[in-house]
Structure 1
Amino acid sequence: MPGTDPQGLDLRRLRDYLDARSPGLCSGELAAEIIPGGRSNLSYRVGDGRSEWVLRRPPLGHVLPTAHDMAREHRVITALAGTAVPVPATVLLCEDPAILGAPFFLMEYAPGTPYRTADQLDALGAERTRAIVLSLVDTLVDLHTVAPAEVGLSDFGRPDGFLERQVRRWGRQLDASRSRDLPGVDELRSGLARRLPASPAATVLHGDYRLDNVLIGADDRITAVLDWEMSTLGDPLTDLAVLVAYSGSDMPAVAGVSTAVDAPGYPDTGEIVARYAERSGRDVSELDWYLGLAAFKLAVILEGIHYRYTQGNTVGADFEGIGDAVPDLVASGLRYVAD
C-alpha cells in the first residue's frame, strides 16, 4: 500500500490516536489506500506491515442530515457478530471529529471480492454466478431472521410508521441535495405517500443490500456483508426491493453503479423474489410499491453523490456519470406507483 496519506485520511493523526486508544495495536508505520467502488461513505485499507484493517468515515463535503452515522454502522456490525450474517470484527469507534475531521471506525480487513461488473462474473461462469447470487438472497433471509432483541438492537429503529417515515425522510434528503430540476420526482414522492402498504413484522435491515456490498471468497461463499450505513429496524421488503432493483432490467439506470446483472447465470428478478419468498415465508404481492420506493431512494442517494461531485468533494474516479442515472430512476419509480 502507498505510504502517503490518501485524501481524507491523516495517517499521523490516526497513528497517534490508535497508540493512545489501543496501545500495541500497531507495530509499524501505517500505510493506507482508498478502497475503490464506494460512492458514499469512504473506506480505506490500512496496514502496519503485520495487520490490516478497514477504516470507514463519512464522505467529504456536503453530508445529508441523518446520513453517514458511523456509530450506527459500528453498532450493527458489532451486534451481528456470531449470527448467521457474516460481518467483519470491529476494532474501535471514534466519534470525535477532531481526530480525522469526522467520526470513523476501524474493523478487521475481510478477504474477498466485491463483484461489481459482468466481466468479473464472466470469469466465474454462469453456474457459479447463479449460486453466488442465490446465496446473496439466502443471506438476506438470514439477516431478516435475526431477532433484534437477542443481539441488543431492540432500540435500533422505530418500526411503527416505518414506511411513511421512509417516504418523508428520503423526501427531506432530496430537498437537501436538490440543485437542479428533476421532472417527476415530486410526483413519485406523493404517489408513494398515497399508497402505503401494511408492513410485515419488523426486522434488522441492511438498507442498501446488493451484490457489490458483500465480499465473496475463493470458495464462492460470502465472507462479509459491508456498508451498513443505512441499517435500521423496519420493513424487510424494503431490503428485498433494493436487491431486486439492482438485479433487474426495469431499472437500467443502476447499471452506472453495477453491471453484474448482465453476467450469464445471474438469476432474473422472478427467481430472486421467489427464492426470498420461499425461504422467508413472507408475502411479496405488494412488491411493486416497494420497488417504487427503492427507485426513489436510489435516485435521492445518487443525486446526493452527484451534488458532492459538482462541489469537488468526491474521492476516487467514475463519478461524472452518476447524476445521469437519476432521471431514469425517477421514471422507473413512477411506473411502479402508477394507479
Structure 2
Amino acid sequence: MSADSTPGLDLDRLGAWLPQAVAGAGTSLSATLLAGGKSNLTYAVTDGVATWVLRRPPLGHVLATAHDMAREYRVMTALQGTDVPVPTTVAFCDDVDVLGAPFYVMERVEGTPYRYAGELETLGHERTRRISERLVDTLVALHAVDPAAIGLGDFGRPDGFLGRQVRRWKKQMDASYTRDLPAADELHRLLAGAVPEESATGIVHGDFRLDNVLTDDRDRPAAVIDWEMATLGDPLTDLALMCVYGRLGERVRGDSIVDCASAPGFLSEDEIVARYAAGSDRDLSGFGWYLGLAAYKLAAILEGIHFRHLEGQTVGEGFDRIGEVIHPLLDSGIAALKEN
C-alpha cells in the first residue's frame, strides 16, 4: 500500500522495526487508516498473517501533553487483568526515526465503535439500552480500580487536579485560537471562580464515550480504547464529559458529531447519572460544575482540530463543520454552571 494511502506511516521503516519488537512479525507490511480518528491516528497493520493496531500522534500542529503515546501504552498495560476490558499491548517505540513520532502497537480487538444514532437504531431499542447500560457500568468499574494496586500510583498528580484542569484547558484553548470566542472566556471565568472540592482519586480516561469502546456482537464492551488523555484525578470528569457528548449530539447533527446517545433506547442523561450513582459511592452534588468543565474541555479539543483543519493537517473526512459546533457547546457549559 502506498504512503499516500497511509499518511503518517513509513511502511519500509516500520517493516524493519516490527520484527525486532514482535517475534515472528514479517517485514513486508500493508496498512489501512481506521475510520473515526480525529486526534491520534490509528491504523490496522498486517504482514499478511497477523494484524495489529498501531497508534501515533496526529500530523502537524500538536498541543503540548495532548498526545502522549507512552502514557496511553502504560495505562492500558496496567489495566490488563482488571474488570476494565482493554486491548493487549504489544510494543512501544520512542525512536522518532522510525515514524517521526513515538507510537505503539497493540492487538486488534474485534468490536464496533458505535458513533452515530443511526448505527444503534438498526439494533433496536432493547439492545441499544443494554449497550448504554454496560457503557456506564464499565465507567463505574474503571473508577473503582485502585491505581496504586496496578502500578499507577504515580500516573498523575491528583491533588489540585480540578484547578489544574481549568488552567490546562485554558492553555490548550489559547494555543488553538483562530477567532474570538467570548463565550470561552466567560466559561473559563466561571470555572476558575468556583472550583469544587474533589472526589476520591481514581483513574480518569479523559475521553470516555461509546465510540471509544469496542462493543462485541453480544453487546458487551470488548475493549476501552483511546487512552491518550488518561491520568489520575477526579473521575467525575469522565461522567460529565460523556453527558456533554450526549448534549452536543442532540443540539448539532452531522457526520462530524457523535450523536449515538440520541438513539431510541439509549439511557437519558438522568438515567446515566442515576446508574453511575447506584454503582459508585461518589458524591454527585455540584455536578453542574463538572458539566461546565467538560464543555470547556471539549471545546478546546475541537478548536484544536478546527485549527489543524484550517492548516490542511487533518486526515479523513468530517472536519469542515467542527468550528461551528463549538459555539453551542460553550453556551451549554455556561448554562450548566449558572444552574449548578
- What CA distance in whole angstroms lies between the structure 2 residues aligned with 1:82 and 1:233? 19
- What CA distance in whole angstroms lies between the structure 2 residues aligned with 1:253 and 1:303? 16
CA gap 1:48/1:36 in 2 versus in 1, 3 angstroms = same
The alpha carbon displacement at 1:139 in A equals 0.3
Q: 1:97-176, aligned counterparts within 5 Å?
A: 97-176=96-175
- Comparing 251-260 and 71-80, the one that deviates more: 251-260
**Matched residues, number:** 336
Query: CA offsets per residue over residues 288-321 of structure 1, 9 Å max, x none?
Result: 1000000000000000000000001111111111
- What CA distance in whole angstroms lies between the structure 1 residues aligned with 2:259 and 2:330? 19
CA contact (8 A) 2:46 2:52 kept: yes
Could you say what secondary structure the match of 1:62 adopts? Answer: coil
Partner of 2:51: 52
The alpha carbon displacement at 1:248 in A equals 3.4
TM-score under structure 2 normalisation? 0.96
Query: CA offsets per residue over residues 39-59 of structure 1, 9 Å max, x none?
Result: 100000111121111100000
The alpha carbon displacement at 1:251 in A equals 6.4
Gaps of at least 5 residues in structure 2 are none
CA contact (8 A) 1:238 1:290 kept: yes
Partner of 2:331: 331
Could you say what secondary structure the match of 2:106 adopts? Answer: strand
- What CA distance in whole angstroms lies between the structure 2 residues aligned with 1:4 and 1:112? 27
Partner of 1:90: 89
Report the AA paired with residue 202 of structure 1. T
1:291 aligns with 2:318: no
CA gap 1:296/1:12 in 2 versus in 1, 3 angstroms = same
Gaps of at least 5 residues in structure 1 are none
Query: CA offsets per residue over residues 200-235 of structure 1, 9 Å max, x none?
Result: 110001000000100000111110000000000000
Report the AA paired with residue 153 of structure 1. L
Partner of 2:12: 12
- What CA distance in whole angstroms lies between the structure 2 residues aligned with 1:21 and 1:148? 28
Q: 1:271-286, aligned counterparts within 5 Å?
A: 271-286=271-286
The alpha carbon displacement at 1:134 in A equals 0.6
- What CA distance in whole angstroms lies between the structure 2 residues aligned with 1:166 and 1:78? 25
- What CA distance in whole angstroms lies between the structure 1 residues aligned with 2:76 and 2:253? 26
CA contact (8 A) 2:295 2:330 kept: yes
The alpha carbon displacement at 1:28 in A equals 6.0
CA contact (8 A) 2:249 2:260 kept: no
CA contact (8 A) 1:248 1:268 kept: no
1:76 aligns with 2:75: yes
Moved over 2 A (4+): 19-22, 247-257
CA contact (8 A) 2:249 2:262 kept: no
Report the AA paired with residue 239 of structure 1. D
The alpha carbon displacement at 1:324 in A equals 0.9
1:305 aligns with 2:305: yes
- What CA distance in whole angstroms lies between the structure 2 residues aligned with 1:169 and 1:186? 14
CA contact (8 A) 1:28 1:49 kept: no
TM-score under structure 1 normalisation? 0.96
Report the AA paired with residue 163 of structure 1. L
Could you say what secondary structure the match of 2:45 adopts? Answer: strand
Report the AA paired with residue 189 of structure 1. H
The alpha carbon displacement at 1:182 in A equals 1.1
The alpha carbon displacement at 1:338 in A equals 2.2
- What CA distance in whole angstroms lies between the structure 1 residues aligned with 2:282 and 2:79? 22
Identical columns (%) = 55
- What CA distance in whole angstroms lies between the structure 2 residues aligned with 1:126 and 1:36? 26
The alpha carbon displacement at 1:26 in A equals 1.4
RMSD: 1.4
- What CA distance in whole angstroms lies between the structure 2 residues aligned with 1:69 and 1:166? 17
CA contact (8 A) 2:19 2:27 kept: no
CA gap 1:141/1:35 in 2 versus in 1, 3 angstroms = same
Report the AA paired with residue 297 of structure 1. K
Report the AA paired with residue 44 of structure 1. Y
Could you say what secondary structure the match of 1:233 adopts? Answer: strand
